[in-house]
Structure 1
Amino acid sequence: MFTGSKTFPAWALLSLATNGLLMLAVILLLLREHWLPASSQASVSATQVSLLSSPQAPPPNLGPRHQLNYDQWVALLGREASVAATQQPKHLTILAGDSLSLWFPTDLLPPERTWLNQGISGETSAGLLRRLDLFDETKPEVIFVMIGINDLIRGVKNETILANQRQIIKYLRRVHPRSQVVVQSILPHGGEATTWEGRDRLLAIPNSRIQEINKQLAAIAAAEGALYLDLHPLFADANGNLRSVLTSDGLHLSPQGYMVWRSALQVFAQFKIEEAGANSQPYRRRR
């Protein structure tokens, strides 16, 4: 209960409203018995990372995964970024990260934007930092970043992950001063229900550790002038594990999981990105 003459800050009300709408979207999705038509149950294939996809792009086709090595992925993403830089599509939005971003089905991405997917399976924060220059020449409205779970799987320390995240934000803010940079929280894993092939390595990471990193990541984003999208509460169950209906193996997302993420992106874009864009100033490098 609030007493006295103090008023509740407008930004806090907006934040509560945004989080409430995100949770409502998730609840509505979870209550649906049938999430997607059968034709949408497929995940994105390695041969379809085109990723410069217009709103009219066809649904992804099935195909074998992991056909490319890391250097081949980097080269492919560089070519796609070059296309985006040349064509300069309207409302360009970049997904930068690991396999969670990479396998985002193009037909589930919010259609009001043109999406350039710069995700690579198995990517770490250090790897992403090294290849940010691939899309230097593009002019995105928004850059969504999700990275960190593979660092944890590989035993990277929290401090290193957060330091890399800070450098990623700094780089993007400097090279794309008119873009909104949105840092997304690291998602929880499925706990004991995990069936992913690296299950033991994943279970060695307490979900409470991921939550602690996310708290610090939110503070870093605020300090560096980026927005923060806290997806963790939308994906976590009462025990702090990744909801079973939202994952295919305890690490990667199911079509339902991508539907939740899609809803979060849409609500966040409407309430947070538009407001930030209206009030933002071009980034100026600190002296």
Structure 2
Amino acid sequence: MANMNDAAKVNTAVIPVPKLEEDCYDWWERHEQVLREKDKINPEVVLIGDSITHFWGGDPQTEGIEGAKEAWRSVFASYRVLNLGFGWDRTQNVLWRIDHGELTGLNPTTVVILIGTNNTSETVNARANDPDEIAEGLRAICDRVHVHVPHAAIVIMAVLPREEKPDHPRRTLIAEINARYAELAKKRNYAFVDIGLKLLEADGTLTQQMASDFCHLTEQGYQLWADALRPLLPQR
């Protein structure tokens, strides 16, 4: 007879699943948009992530989301970019999307991955994951990226700070995740980019000038991300 705790031992962060949460857009339609448009875009740069990536801008566009246009243009104006950010996605959602064609047939030079913050959230649809599980989710994503676009350079973004105060438990959790992400990047010779300290005040406070809801970036926050990415893209 199966132990009741067996389900909790399964790392849900590495088991591909489609949409789990409701958000301000149609998850399934965005996936179909990607499949329709990705080959026409023929991206040089692919961004993979959740709402923080999704809401930055680029193609495919989502109606009602304005994005941070100036920050986007400042780094991506001369590149063909595919934005594979999907609001509320966890690592397991990204795995499903890659398995269902979002990278198939592409040949980007650079893939930027920012994922994991939603794996720290507990909902009725998915349990929260611990740092080791989340790092395994990232590793699985990188493995798939290698299969589909083996010549692309991979850039791992540290999970961005969340919550206003530095003593919030989620800050500690994010620090533990990022330590594992940095280790993975070092072992695999990926670029690892952590803009966390630049987003925070000297006392560790996250202000609404950088993240309007203490999670999602403002134009100013996106500009810091843009500035950090610029040296890692193919030079024109």
Output the TM-score relative to the length of structure 1.
0.61
Question: Which of 144, 150, 155 pairs up with 2:118?
Answer: 150
Q: Report matched runs for 1:212-251 at 5 Å.
A: 212-251=176-215
- 1:97: which partner in 2? 49
Q: Report matched runs for 1:191-270 at 5 Å.
A: 191-192=164-165, 205-269=169-233
Provide the rounded CA distance (Å) in 2 between the counterparts of 1:220 and 1:252: 25
Q: Deviations over 1:60-107 (max 9, x none)?
A: xxxxx8241x222222222222323xxx35xx1011100100111343
The aligned amino acid for 1:128 is V
Q: Any gaps of 5 or more consecutive residues in structure 2?
A: 1-22, 59-68, 123-127
- 1:278: which partner in 2? none
- 2:149: which partner in 1? 176
Residue 140 of structure 2 corresponds to residue 167 of structure 1? yes
Call closer, same or farther: CA 1:113–1:149 in 2, change over 3 Å: same
Provide the rounded CA distance (Å) in 1 between the counterparts of 2:165 and 2:156: 28
Q: Deviations over 1:100-139 (max 9, x none)?
A: 0011134332112111101110000111112124122111
Provide the rounded CA distance (Å) in 2 between the counterparts of 1:223 and 1:141: 20
Provide the rounded CA distance (Å) in 2 between the counterparts of 1:74 and 1:221: 28
Identity percentage of aligned residues: 22
Q: CA deviation at 1:204?
A: 6.5
Contact 2:111–2:152 (CA under 8 A) maintained in structure 1: yes
CA RMSD of aligned residues (A): 2.2
The aligned amino acid for 1:164 is G
The structure whose residues are more often helix, as a share, is 1
- 1:79: which partner in 2? 36
Runs of 4+ in 1 over 6 A off after TM superposition: none
Call closer, same or farther: CA 1:67–1:166 in 2, change over 3 Å: closer
Q: Deviations over 1:136-167 (max 9, x none)?
A: 21111101000011110232222211101011
Greater CA drift, 155-164 or 221-230: 221-230
Provide the rounded CA distance (Å) in 2 between the counterparts of 1:170 and 1:264: 24
Report how many residues are paired. Answer: 192
The aligned amino acid for 1:254 is T
Provide the rounded CA distance (Å) in 1 between the counterparts of 2:182 and 2:165: 27
Q: CA deviation at 1:192?
A: 4.9
